[in-house]
Structures are given as C-alpha cells and as structure tokens.
Structure 1
C-alpha cells in the first residue's frame, strides 16, 4: 500500500510538472490592459513590431522597433536588446510575434510579453499609435451609415491578415443573397485606423458586427460561420 501511494504521488508530481512545462510557451501572452500597463511601467520600454516593414510603415505602436525572425541582420537587432529588461512583442495576431517571443525565451530572455490580438487589440482598444495616413472613414461617417441603413454588416480587418482574406468570398455570398436589403461596410486597418480606434470594440482581426435598426444584433471575433449567423440574426421574430 505504501509503495502504491508513493508511486501515485510520484506520478501526480510528474503530470503536474509535464503540464506546467507544456504551458510554458504560452505563459508570455498578455491581454491588452496588462500589456499596456507593463509598457507604461517602463521608462524606455523595449517594444518590437514583428510585422513586415510595409505594415510597420503604415501604423505601429509609438517607440516600437521593427524586426522578426526572417529579418536581415536579425542577430544584430537581438544583440541590441537588454536581456535584463522586459521585451514587448506584437504582430497582427500572435503568429509572427509568438514565434519571435519563443525564440527570445530560448536564447536567454526571461521576461518576454506577446500581445494577445496584436495590433488589432492595441488600436481597436483605443491605445495611442503612429500612422502616416488619414482615415478614409471617420467615426461620424460610420455612425451615419449605421443610422441611415436598416441592416448593416461591418467587416473590420487588415489586408495583411490571412483570416481576413477568408471573409471576402463569404461577404460576396451574403451580398448576393440579401442584395440592397443589407449594406456591407469593409474597414481596413491600412485605410481607416482611426475609426477602428474610436470604436474601441475590436479585439482581433477579423471582427464582424451586424447592426439591425441601429442596434448590434451580433459581434463576432473571427469568421466562424458568418453566413449562418447572419441568417439566424435576420430571421423574423
């Protein structure tokens, strides 16, 4: 019996250890508020934008450096970082930033934070950002579209977002199905970042919002079964 208890305790300890180890790669991911608070607590925060130079040039977090795993002279960028201080990383979602964060953790950095939702969460949460363009769509114009149309489906995303590209053919199907009875509004980060920031409701790309008579019928983080969701929301009650 004693041996059985010993073995049971040993196995339990092993499972806990393995479980903790398995979760380690995700331990650095932070929600927006925690990520922002940690950045604000640093005098000169080390912020890395892990997107492409083209994306970075259009918009980014103030003070961010721009590099990722495939960047030329990657090692030079890493060597310039202070391993004793926190590193804050983001991309569009968590793909490129997550890969970079894991690589830094493997190479001696112990305080690495990846932003959940990436630049979508940052700008969509109304945090300060740099942009070199003026938004094509203002918040006032957005609100007028919602007020002037009975049913409006809003697609918020980025042209650099893989998941966002999958939304487009679904939107065409919905447009063909509902015709003039449903207005579709597509908002890209690269064209109208300020309205995304002003809405303060976007957590990830893509975000889909269906309005009916000025009120939100549903809000979706990600594509899911959009066609079905629209059909269900618009079924006469």
Structure 2
C-alpha cells in the first residue's frame, strides 16, 4: 500500500514538474539578437510595446502595438492577437513586460518572448525604430566632448526609468566634488535617441560610461556603486 502511495506521489510530482517546465518554456527573456531574429522570421510579427502611450509616442519599434495591463482597451487589444503565433514584448525594464507576458500565457498564448533590456537594448543595439524627435546631441558632438575634456562621465537613460532617477543625485554630488575636472553628460532617450543608436553600446538603462582622454575607463550596465567607482579613478590622479 505504501509503495503504491509513493508511486502515485512520484507520478504526480513528475507530471506537475513537466507541466510547470512546459509553461516556463513558453515564455522567455531573450537577448537582442535572438529577439530580432525571431521577429524577422515572422511574416506579420505580433510586437507589443508595454510602455505607456506617452513613451510610445516618442519612440518605438516599427510595427509595434501599444498596450499593457492598465490600458483601457486591454481585453480588446488582446482579442485581436493570434494566440497560436509568437508574441514579442518590450518595455523599459522587465516589470511591465513580465506582467503582460504572464497574463498572455494565462490566456492561452503559445509563445511569448520578452526583450532583455527593453527599448534600451533595441535602440542601443542600432536596430530600426520610429521616433518623432530630432536628437539634441549628435554623434560628432558627443565625440567632440570626449576630445575636449580629460574626464567625461556619460549617463544614458530615460526619464521614464525608475532606476535612472536614482542616478541624478549621485551625479550632482560628483559634479560638486570634482567641478571642472569631471565633465558630466546626461543623455535621455526622450531627447537624443539617435546618438544612443549610433553608439551601439547601450544594453540597459541606465548605462554609465567614464572616459579618460576619449578612451573608456569603465562602462556600467546599471547603477552599481557609481560614486565609489568614479572616486577610485579620479582620486588617484
């Protein structure tokens, strides 16, 4: 009797494990090149920008639809999609994309892919995008700043990025501490998308790059301990 119960328990566990494993396989965070390749393999790719309408209006992947769980027309927008075809989702980070992906899986969608790094990775990787903005900063102007200043700290982000906002007071402290010794340049997606695309080095927001005489000293994908990292470099000079 005990053996039978044990056997049934193992069978149930294996079945549950298989079901859970299968569910997880249907949704995946993928890097830019894989995300792009999967989109290009589809005749009519279902791309969803899970950011807010204000963000979408400024820039987005061409052909993308714009909605998320908070959208008024959410159910109608979802019903217009084909559940048997892959869905490609992006936002700024993974939060809104993840929530949307989970709900779509519950609604029976067969494949859902989330872009690792979101719109930052797409534009920062030089992929084609729509924008109604003319960049305030151009690549030649960017390069001139690097030539004209010994130390340049570049902060690349978005005003809609929560983590990016935590960088601002740190930059002010560094500006006060180092004065003219450290040139600080802040580049936002909403102001200069093309220079972010031209750099082809941004994978996430925020991206922080410290240059010395035009050469990269360090590049940080995310905030990390920015103040300490800058101090270590500049305090030795």
TM-score normalised by length of structure 2: 0.91
Q: Which residue number in structure 1 is paired with residue 172 of structure 2? A: 172
2 CA distance for matches of 1:101 and 1:229?
Answer: 36
2 CA distance for matches of 1:112 and 1:26?
Answer: 6
Q: Which residue number in structure 2 is paired with residue 187 of structure 1? A: 187
2 CA distance for matches of 1:67 and 1:27?
Answer: 18
The question of whether the paired residues in 2 share the 8 Å contact of 1:157 and 1:188 is answered with: yes
Distance change >3 Å, CA 41–CA 230, structure 1 → 2: same
The question of whether the paired residues in 2 share the 8 Å contact of 1:218 and 1:233 is answered with: no
Q: Which residue number in structure 2 is paired with residue 149 of structure 1? A: 149
Gaps of 5+ in 1: none
SS of structure 2 residue aligned to 1:28 = strand
Q: Which residue number in structure 2 is paired with residue 91 of structure 1? A: 91
Distance change >3 Å, CA 213–CA 26, structure 1 → 2: farther
Q: Which residue number in structure 1 is paired with residue 206 of structure 2? A: 206
SS of structure 2 residue aligned to 1:177 = helix
1 CA distance for matches of 2:156 and 2:177?
Answer: 21
Distance change >3 Å, CA 120–CA 151, structure 1 → 2: same
Distance change >3 Å, CA 30–CA 203, structure 1 → 2: same
After superposition, the CA RMSD in angstroms is 2.4
The question of whether the paired residues in 1 share the 8 Å contact of 2:26 and 2:111 is answered with: no
Tell me the CA shift for residue 22 of structure 1.
11
1 CA distance for matches of 2:98 and 2:58?
Answer: 21
Gaps of 5+ in 2: none
1 CA distance for matches of 2:162 and 2:188?
Answer: 13
SS of structure 1 residue aligned to 2:190 = coil
Q: Which residue number in structure 1 is paired with residue 223 of structure 2? A: 223
Please state if 1:43 is matched with 2:43. Answer: yes
1 CA distance for matches of 2:231 and 2:110?
Answer: 48
TM-score normalised by length of structure 1: 0.91
The question of whether the paired residues in 2 share the 8 Å contact of 1:58 and 1:132 is answered with: yes
1 CA distance for matches of 2:73 and 2:187?
Answer: 35
Distance change >3 Å, CA 28–CA 34, structure 1 → 2: same
Q: Which residue number in structure 2 is paired with residue 61 of structure 1? A: 61
Q: Which residue number in structure 2 is paired with residue 70 of structure 1? A: 70
Q: Which residue number in structure 2 is paired with residue 118 of structure 1? A: 118
Tell me the CA shift for residue 84 of structure 1.
1.1
SS of structure 2 residue aligned to 1:44 = coil
SS of structure 1 residue aligned to 2:172 = helix
Tell me the CA shift for residue 101 of structure 1.
0.6
Distance change >3 Å, CA 228–CA 25, structure 1 → 2: farther
2 CA distance for matches of 1:229 and 1:213?
Answer: 17
